[in-house]
Every structure is written in structure tokens, then in C-alpha cells.
Structure 1
């Protein structure tokens, strides 16, 4: 599971790490999937993979 927010505005709009974790966990449960790992890039830009260490 990969969660990322890059700006405070995203968090204010309800796109927090916790909100993403909840939605992705619910999705996995509804599709009989198991979450085997979790990666979080909190505060990293999405412009480049190089700027997201957990994504790499």
C-alpha cells in the first residue's frame, strides 16, 4: 500500500495519510486482498519518482 501527500492543502481537503490508509485498507478488504506492506511519502512532491524515496 502506497500513501502520499505533498501539500498541507491536500491534508486539509481530506487526503491525509490516515484517510488514504483507511480507503486503501477498505478497498483491499472488499476485494479479498491482503496488504503485505505499507509505504508512506509524507510531504514529497509527485513530480518525480526521484523525490519519493518510499515509492522507489
Structure 2
């Protein structure tokens, strides 16, 4: 779970930096929101989705 939060922070920082450089069409979407409150049950390692994770994303 800690890896997922660290990865998300790195991604958000990269997006913010690129937006500050003028890329107004770049946006960050928190993919964990697709999986629901129990997203840890929907991933193998806090990052990569399981079958359940993919099913929830498809909804």
C-alpha cells in the first residue's frame, strides 16, 4: 500500500511540473478512485490490478 501512495505522489509531482511548464492539457486522474475504498483488495501489490480491479475499472 505504501508503494501505491509513493507512486501516486511521484506521478502527481511530474504532472504538476509539466503543467507549470505550460502543458495545460495534461491532467492527473487518481486511478485508485476507480477501485473503491477497498482498493488494496483489487491490486496484487498496491499498484497492479487483479481481475477484481479490472472488473471495477470496466464499470
Same fold (TM over 0.5): no
TM-score when scaled to structure 1? 0.38
User: For the pair shown, which has the larger CA radius of gyration, 1 or 2?
Assistant: 2
| Structure with the larger RCO, 1 or 2 (CA within 8 Å, 6+ apart) | 1
The structure whose residues are more often helix, as a share, is: 2
TM-score when scaled to structure 2? 0.37
